Amino acid sequence: MMEVVIFLAGLVILIGTLYGSYKSISYAQRNLSSLVHPRIALLAARLLLLIVGGLLGFLLTTLSLRVSESHVIVGLPFPWAVWEYSNGQWLDFVGPLSIVLWGFDVVVGIALLHTLIVVANELRKRRLGRVNSSRAI
């Protein structure tokens, strides 16, 4: 029973993270036109965000976390491989879902970079709202 609860909790975390990543990327791409005005600069900004975000996601896939003397987890926030030191050699444990989790790490990296655009847009809206409310007085 406990295994089912742990599985479902992990599934909820996975789906929640991917949904948050989707919302961050779509919101940033939709509102990027209010931050960048010339059309060619907008296209360049979108392409740059995707390329740099992909590189950040690739970096997340290569991060390793040593959880004990004999175990290393590869990939953050979704671990896609586990290395175990046993009998003088490192053994890897990779399953058929490893490539899917690797892809999820890349998507999260892209979403992290897009979150900066979301924050910049919200700060711009607040600043414009404060300026407009002071003019109304």
pLDDT in tens, 32-64: 877 777 888 888 888 888 899 999 999 989 999
Q: Which amino acid is residue 125, in one-letter code?
A: K
Q: What is the mean pLDDT of residues 112-125?
A: 85
Q: Please tell me the predicted confidence (pLDDT) of residue 133.
A: 60
Kindly tell me if the per-residue pLDDT of 18 is higher than 70.
yes
Band the pLDDT of 132: cuts 50, 70, 90: low
The model's pTM is: 0.75
Kindly tell me if the per-residue pLDDT of 27 is higher than 80.
yes
Kindly tell me if the per-residue pLDDT of 137 is higher than 60.
no
Spatial contact of 110 and 53, defined as CB atoms under 8 Å apart: yes
Band the pLDDT of 30: cuts 50, 70, 90: confident
Q: What is the mean pLDDT of residues 84-109?
A: 88
Kindly tell me if the per-residue pLDDT of 97 is higher than 60.
yes
